[in-house]
Structure 1
Amino acid sequence: MRIRQYLALTVYLALGALLVAPTIDGASSPAVRGHGGAVASAERAATEVGLEILRAGGNAVDAAVATALALAVVHPEAGNLGGGGFAVVRMGDELASLDFREVAPAEASRDMYLDAEGRAVDDASRIGPLAAGVPGSPVGLFELHQRFGGLSWPRVVAPALLLATEGFTVTSRLHRSLVSERELLASFPETARVWLPDGRPPAIGSRMRLPALAATLEAYAEAGPRALTSGPIARAIERASDAHGGLLRASDLESYRAVWRRPLTFDAFGWKMASMDLPSSGGIILAQTFGLLESLGWREMPRFGADRAHLLAEAWRRSFADRFLMGDPMSSEADSQSLLDPEWLAYRRSTLQMDRASLSADIARWPESLPTESSDTTHIAVADSSGNLVALTTTLNDIFGCRLLVPEAGFFLNNEMDDFAAAPGRPNLYGLVQGEANAVRPGHRMLSSMSPTLGWRGSEAVVLGGRGGGRIPTAVAQVLLHLLVDGDPLQTAVDRPRLHHQWLPDILRAEADALSPETAQELSNRGHAVEVWTRDAKVNAVRRLEDGTFEAAADPRGPGSAGVVNPIQ
Structure 2
Amino acid sequence: MAVLLLMSAGYVHGQSGISNNGQYSNGMVVCAYPDASQAGVDILKKGGNAVDAAVAVHFALTVTHPQAGNIGGGGFMVFRSGKGKISTLDFREKGPGAASANMYLDSAGNVIPDMSLYTHQASGVPGSVDGMVTAHKKYGKLKWADLVQPAIDLARNGFKITKHLASDLNRTQAQFIKLNPGKNYLLKQGGWKEGDILVQEDLAKTFEFIRDKGRDGFYDGVVANQIVAEMKNGSGLMTKEDLKNYHSVWREAITGNYKGYKIITMPPPSSGGIALLQLLQSVEKYPLKRWGYNQDSTIRLIVEAERRVYADRSKYLGDPDFYKVPVDSLLKPAYITSRMSNFSWDAATPSASIKPGTFVGYESDQTTHYSIVDKDGNAVSITTTLNDSFGSKIFVNGAGFLLNNEMDDFSSKPGVPNMYGLVGGKANSIQPGKRMLSSMTPTIIEKDGKLFMVVGTPGGSTIITSVFQTILNVIEFDQTMQQAVSSKRFHSQWLPDEVVFERDGVDSTTISRLEAKGYKTKPTGGIGRVEAILKKPSGYYEGGADPRGDDTTIGY
Whether these two folds match at TM > 0.5 is yes
CA drift of 1:430 comes to: 12
Write out per-residue CA displacement over residues 190-218 of structure 1, whole angstroms, 9 at most, x where no aligned residue.
674122255x5455423222222111111
Alignment partner of 1:154 out of 145, 152, 159: 145
Alignment partner of 1:102 out of 90, 93, 105: 93
Alignment partner of 2:529 out of 531, 538, 543: 538
Write out per-residue CA displacement over residues 107-149 of structure 1, whole angstroms, 9 at most, x where no aligned residue.
0111111111111111111002110000000100111111111
Write out per-residue CA displacement over residues 313-344 of structure 1, whole angstroms, 9 at most, x where no aligned residue.
01101110111011111344643222112231
2:532 counterpart letter in structure 1: A
Task: Give the SS at the match of 1:411.
Answer: coil
Please state if 1:175 is matched with 2:166.
yes
Task: Give the SS at the match of 1:164.
Answer: helix
2:510 counterpart letter in structure 1: T
Task: Give the SS at the match of 1:240.
Answer: helix
Instruction: Look up the match of 1:4.
Output: none
Unpaired stretches in structure 1, ≥5 consecutive residues = 1-20, 367-374
How far apart, CA to CA, are the structure 1 residues paired with 2:539 and 2:470?
A: 21
C-alpha change, 1:197 and 1:496, in structure 2 (3 Å) is closer
Equivalences for residues 122-521 of structure 1 within 5 A: 122-189=113-180, 192-198=183-189, 200-325=190-315, 326-332=317-323, 334-364=325-355, 375-425=365-415, 434-458=424-448, 459-521=450-512
Q: After alignment, is 88-97 or 352-361 more displaced?
A: 352-361
C-alpha change, 1:133 and 1:296, in structure 2 (3 Å) is same
C-alpha change, 1:470 and 1:239, in structure 2 (3 Å) is same
Task: Give the SS at the match of 2:24.
Answer: strand
CA drift of 1:278 comes to: 0.7
Equivalences for residues 74-89 of structure 1 within 5 A: 74-89=64-79
Task: Give the SS at the match of 2:511.
Answer: helix
2:288 counterpart letter in structure 1: W
Contact 1:86–1:99 (CA under 8 A) maintained in structure 2: yes
C-alpha change, 1:357 and 1:46, in structure 2 (3 Å) is same
How far apart, CA to CA, are the structure 2 residues paired with 1:178 and 1:453?
A: 30
How far apart, CA to CA, are the structure 2 residues paired with 1:196 and 1:121?
A: 29
Write out per-residue CA displacement over residues 394-416 of structure 1, whole angstroms, 9 at most, x where no aligned residue.
11111111111112222111010
CA drift of 1:361 comes to: 1.2
Instruction: Look up the match of 2:14.
Output: none
Write out per-residue CA displacement over residues 10-32 of structure 1, whole angstroms, 9 at most, x where no aligned residue.
xxxxxxxxxxx888698873573
Write out per-residue CA displacement over residues 464-490 of structure 1, whole angstroms, 9 at most, x where no aligned residue.
100110101111111111111222111
CA drift of 1:85 comes to: 0.3
How far apart, CA to CA, are the structure 1 residues paired with 2:23 and 2:148?
A: 27
2:320 counterpart letter in structure 1: P
Instruction: Look up the match of 1:9.
Output: none
Instruction: Look up the match of 2:10.
Output: 29
Task: Give the SS at the match of 1:397.
Answer: coil
CA drift of 1:296 comes to: 3.3
C-alpha change, 1:83 and 1:346, in structure 2 (3 Å) is same
C-alpha change, 1:178 and 1:431, in structure 2 (3 Å) is closer
How far apart, CA to CA, are the structure 2 residues paired with 1:449 and 1:332?
A: 17
Write out per-residue CA displacement over residues 417-469 of structure 1, whole angstroms, 9 at most, x where no aligned residue.
01111112568999996312111111101111111010111345211100110
How far apart, CA to CA, are the structure 1 residues paired with 2:110 and 2:418?
A: 5
Q: After alignment, is 433-442 or 225-234 more displaced?
A: 433-442
Alignment partner of 1:522 out of 500, 503, 513: 513
Contact 1:132–1:413 (CA under 8 A) maintained in structure 2: yes
Contact 1:97–1:262 (CA under 8 A) maintained in structure 2: yes
1:109 counterpart letter in structure 2: S
How far apart, CA to CA, are the structure 2 residues paired with 1:318 and 1:446?
A: 21
Contact 1:53–1:66 (CA under 8 A) maintained in structure 2: yes
How far apart, CA to CA, are the structure 2 residues paired with 1:539 and 1:484?
A: 16
How far apart, CA to CA, are the structure 2 residues paired with 1:301 and 1:331?
A: 43
Contact 1:383–1:544 (CA under 8 A) maintained in structure 2: no
C-alpha change, 1:73 and 1:528, in structure 2 (3 Å) is same
2:23 counterpart letter in structure 1: R
Identity of aligned residues (%): 38
1:268 counterpart letter in structure 2: Y
C-alpha change, 1:229 and 1:27, in structure 2 (3 Å) is farther
How far apart, CA to CA, are the structure 1 residues paired with 2:524 and 2:305?
A: 20
CA drift of 1:304 comes to: 3.5
C-alpha change, 1:341 and 1:187, in structure 2 (3 Å) is same
1:418 counterpart letter in structure 2: D
Unpaired stretches in structure 2, ≥5 consecutive residues = 12-20, 358-364
How far apart, CA to CA, are the structure 2 residues paired with 1:429 and 1:511?
A: 20
1:560 counterpart letter in structure 2: D
C-alpha change, 1:215 and 1:333, in structure 2 (3 Å) is same
TM-score (norm: length of structure 2)? 0.92
CA RMSD, aligned part only? 2.3
Instruction: Look up the match of 1:42.
Output: 32
CA drift of 1:170 comes to: 2.6
How far apart, CA to CA, are the structure 1 residues paired with 2:5 and 2:393?
A: 25
Contact 1:60–1:384 (CA under 8 A) maintained in structure 2: yes
How far apart, CA to CA, are the structure 2 residues paired with 1:165 and 1:23?
A: 22
CA drift of 1:189 comes to: 3.6
Task: Give the SS at the match of 1:406.
Answer: coil
1:380 counterpart letter in structure 2: Y
